[in-house]
Amino acid sequence: MSIYEQIGGRAAVTAAVDDFYRRLMSDPALTPYFDGVDMSRLKRHQRAFIAAAIGGPEPYLGRPMREAHALLDIQPDHFDRVVGHLAETLSDLGVDQVAVDAIGDTLAPLKDEIAPGVAPRAG
């Protein structure tokens, strides 16, 4: 059984994404990333991404992570904050810790694509 099925499928992913974005929008360090963003569209993409990442029935068809986040200049510590908010969201919704950890493990490799940080200066 996939994590997607274990947590309750589409309804659970929808609840998680709604709560997740409430948390993100309440975090002053993260809110500037969402200025001028169509939140309905973003939530749709996030639901599709999370569902696919945890074994949902449909593939994620959005842009590659590096491309989708390239212009946002996301800092590594902000990526960590986002993952932390997601973990808290899932835990508060009753997802067991093993599944929360598995989801975190799925997202961790994306850090270098989404938040590459500042490149070191030459010389």
What CATH number did the domain enclosing 71 receive?
1.10.490.10
pLDDT over 70 for what percent of the chain? 94
Count: domains in the chain: 1
| Residue 120 covered by a domain | no
Half-sphere exposure of 86 (CA within 13 A, CB side): 22
- Can you give the residue range of the structural domain that contains 39? 3-114
Determine the pLDDT at residue 58.
Answer: 87
pLDDT exceeds cutoff 80 at 8: yes
Looking at per-residue pLDDT, the higher value among 117 and 97 belongs to 97
| Residue 79 covered by a domain | yes
Whether the CB-CB separation of 79 and 114 falls below 8 Å is answered with: yes
| Residue 121 covered by a domain | no
Highest mean pLDDT among 31-40, 89-98, 108-117: 31-40
55 falls in which pLDDT band (50, 70, 90)?
confident
Cα distance between residue 58 and residue 27, in whole Å = 31
Instruction: Name the pTM for this structure.
Output: 0.82
| Residue 123 covered by a domain | no
120 falls in which pLDDT band (50, 70, 90)?
very low
Determine the pLDDT at residue 122.
Answer: 47
Phi, psi of 60 (to 5 degrees): -80, 125
Whether the CB-CB separation of 19 and 87 falls below 8 Å is answered with: no
| Residue 122 covered by a domain | no
